[in-house]
Amino acid sequence: MGVIAVTPPMLLGLVAVFVIARVVLTTRPVRAGSAGRSTNFAREYLDPFIYAGIAAFLLITFVARTYYIPSESMVPTLKVGDVLLVNKFEYRFHAPNEGDIVVFPPPVPTTDDFIKRVIGRPGDTLRIKSGVVYLNGKALYEPYIAQPPAYNLVIKSYGIYVDTGIGFQRLDPAGANIPPRNEWTAPDRIPKNCYFMMGDNRNNSEDSHIWGFAQTTGNFATGAEAGKPAHFTGHSFLIFWPLNHARIL
């Protein structure tokens, strides 16, 4: 269900390999008839990789981050093996928008971030009925999903209620992140700093209909990660690999 980060140390290690190769080629003894070939090879082939690697390292460290998709929870939008760029700065300047594809730590124990789509934001009303998501009373047009959700859901009475065929059951705060009443502005509206997240592969996605709300700030209120810091890592804005699937999200 998570995404795997391509970390700066991995990239830095690759750059180091190119730098070592560059040094070896330009300092080895020159044999007759080969003067200048090693240096030219290094300049033409290794230097561009070194410069690009350093630029990518700075980009990943300070501006964006690269993630690999290992699961099918966002199919058909994101496929297994896709590599994404995630903007780490964007949400410092504005709140997440409806429809954004976001990387974030979920309120469940995991070593990886999750990636889901923002469906409901603070102050929104939300329900799912007969496979249709209604946001603030209006049906969402969702051409990006794999299939309609096979469950009904409603946010009401300061909780999230889900019906998988046996009637509506409230998500248990012991296992889901459901803020206390004093953090809700109304019993049927998503609380402040909270977001309702869903995978595009609706019936094969561990998302807010299971573990409650994601949060942009503060600490998780309840659930397995109660008390731990919550945040959004960033906004996924580009698939850059494989090339036949590359596009702006």
Among the options 38, 71, 73, 208, which is catalytic? 73
Give the Cα separation of 83 and 43 in Å (integer): 29
Give the Cα separation of 38 and 55 in Å (integer): 24
The answer to whether 88 is a known catalytic residue is no
The answer to whether 192 is a known catalytic residue is no
Question: Which of 161, 139, 148, 74 is closest to 113 using CA atoms?
Answer: 74
101 burial level (CB within 10 Å; 0-12, 13-18, 19+)? buried
CA distance readout (Å), 211 to 159, 171, 205, 208: 12, 8, 11, 5
Among the options 38, 71, 88, 116, which is catalytic? 116
Bridge partners, 158 (sequence order): none
Tokens of 166: 């046996």
Question: Which of 39, 88, 74, 129 is closest to 237 using CA atoms?
Answer: 88
Question: Which of 116, 106, 115 is closest to 230 using CA atoms?
Answer: 106
Contact 239, 245 (CB under 8 A): yes
Query: Would you name the residues annotated as active-site residues?
Result: 73, 116
